[in-house]
Amino acid sequence: MPTVRETTYQLLRTWGLTTVFGNPGSNELPFLDGFPPDFRYVLGLHEGAVLAMADGYAQATGRPALVNLHSAAGLGNAVGVLANARASHTPLVVTAGQQARPMIGLGAVLGEPDLTRVPAPHVKWAFEPSTAQDVPRALSQAFHLATLPPAGPVFVSLPLDDWAREAQADQVAHLAARRVRAAGAASAEVVVELAGLLRSARTPVLVAGPEVDEEDAFAAVVALAERLRAPVWTAPTPPRCPFPTRHPLWRGVLPPSIAGVAERLAGHDVVLVLGAPVFRYHAYRPGPYLPEGAHLVAVGRDPEAAARSAFGDALVADPGVVARQLLDAFPEPCARPAPVGLVRDEPPLEDAAPFTAGAVFAAMARHLPRDVRLVNESTSNTAQFWEQLDLDRPRSLFFPAAGGLGFGLPAAVGVALADPDRPVVAVLGDGAAQYGVAGLWTAVQERLPVMFVVLTNGTYGALRSFVTQLGVSDAPGLDLPGLDVARIAEGYGMPARRVTGAGELVAELAKIGPGRGPRLLEVAIVPEHRALG
């Protein structure tokens, strides 16, 4: 009879989960015993970094990733980053080793009777099998739940004494053969209704969200906007880029406030939201949800988000599929005039540091290779980032969706692991870099083509932007003196340098490409504090 461990590894092969992100402890060693040679174990030095690497990997590949954490403490270390995965709808199968079953109720070290409660509410489902024989089936349920829309992380607690037990003989055959799929098309009647609404609109506008950041959906939304001759906004606080940022129809990212959204959408009578919740606000600026007379329809996979919204109509469906259905309803471009494209200012790069963030991003837009993937966790200058960067391919930008720091640095490692032939640039704040700094070690060990660009301004700049907005003064803990990020990177074995001149920065950006190992640049920037919303 096969063991539970043997059965599980066979199922993982079937599902393509042969890369395991982990930081092992004693509870996990029985699962890792005799680790198969066709599997890859990616070691992270902190569970938060481990989960962020898996998050970046899953987002970059569009497929689930497997995470193996250590007991309640290790799982707890990862919960902050798990919040980002939930907000990004990243399909993750997160596991943690539980104590041996006879020890769980005795208060044993590394035993937690309520282990399934630790990751709540940031997982779609949390479960501990009641028997060893149920472990393979539970993992099958976790895999399918993680991928079904809306995708997201799930959790399974795995007692350490289950792995050597006998499995049911027919489990592999039955579980491996299962297919669980979701159909996301709209009915013909709904398509006719939506097409009629858009056809009669005087000034329609599209709002694109992260659910269309994949090849077919991305192309369909671009084509639909061109057929409708409608401007396109990106939904507030986007974790990914759903529309080309240099397309003449793109208008930018909607501000994350109630009043700000209404102000930007003023003058439009029909708002079609594709692949985003309505809306993910951050700064509290009250006002009307929409301009007077505007009709909003949102299309997305998440029924909870559809039900939660306080305004507009919602259709729970695959937004990419619906966009293609609407394309069929508009075989020719609409007669309305096309909107005029944005006029962009590209600030010149100063001769010497400190630079402005906008100038650094403009230089990156000019000198980075076309196939680069970007990870952004420099949260105090995201507005400048969006204003300058040229993003025209799906799954090319990744951002911490819940706003929790610690995602960016290790997520860039996971993105590079997903496709080492595409270079990755991680743009990080000097404060944000400290949350996931252990990821530098994994980047060095795997020799990944990642350049970490750490923008240092000596402060938590995003918090500074809230000071005036919230009427706060004399708050402690906002300044970060004494950090030497380049030396920290060198301590992990990574080549690093502090850039002091424009020529140095341009020369370093020109070195980015496949086949090169990781490198860190520390770049001093001028503190800038733009209010959100």
* Residues carrying an active site annotation: 25-26, 28, 47, 70, 282, 403
Which whole-number Å values give the CA distances from 251 to 136, 176, 339, 455, in the listed order?
Answer: 48, 46, 10, 26
Radius of gyration of the chain (CA): 24
Q: At what angle do helices 135-147 and 4-15 cross, to 10 degrees?
A: 20
**Rounded distance between C-alpha atoms, residue 214 and residue 49, angstroms:** 25
Distance CA 150, CA 71 (A): 27
Q: Residue 519 forms beta bridges with which residues?
A: 451
Taking CA 369 as the corner, what is the angle to CA 366 and CA 372, rounded to the nearest 5 degrees? 115
DSSP line for 166-231: BPPTTHHHHHHH-------PPPHHHHHHHHHHHHH-SSEEEEE-GGG-SHHHHHHHHHHHHHHT--
Six-digit token string for 7: 């059965």
How far the first Cα of the chain sits from its last, in Å, is 61
493-496 LR contacts (CB < 8 Å, sep 24+):
493/441, 493/444, 494/440, 494/443, 494/444, 494/518, 494/519, 494/520, 495/519, 495/520, 496/520, 496/521, 496/522
User: How far apart, in whole angstroms, are the C-alpha atoms of residue 517 and residue 400?
Assistant: 24
Q: Which residue has tokens 């733009």? A: 530
- What number of CA atoms fall less than 13 Å from residue 438's CA on the CB side? 18
Residue 180, exposed/middle/buried by CB under 10 A (0-12, 13-18, 19+)? exposed
Instruction: Tell me: cis bond preceding 348? Omega within 30 of 0 counts.
Output: no
Cα dist from 111 to 25, 101, 207, 519, whole Å? 12, 9, 47, 40
Rounded distance between C-alpha atoms, residue 435 and residue 393, angstroms: 28
Tokens 């993982």, located at residue: 12
Question: Hey, how many other C-beta atoms are within 10 angstroms of the C-beta on 61?
Answer: 18
Would residue 292 be called left, alpha or beta, if left means φ above 0 and alpha means ψ between -120 and 50 degrees? beta
The count of other CB atoms within 10 Å of the CB of residue 348 is 12
**The amino acid at 29:** L
User: Phi-psi region for residue 30, left (φ > 0), alpha (ψ -120 to 50) or beta?
Assistant: alpha
Distance from chain centroid for Cα 311: 26
CA distance 126 to 111: 17
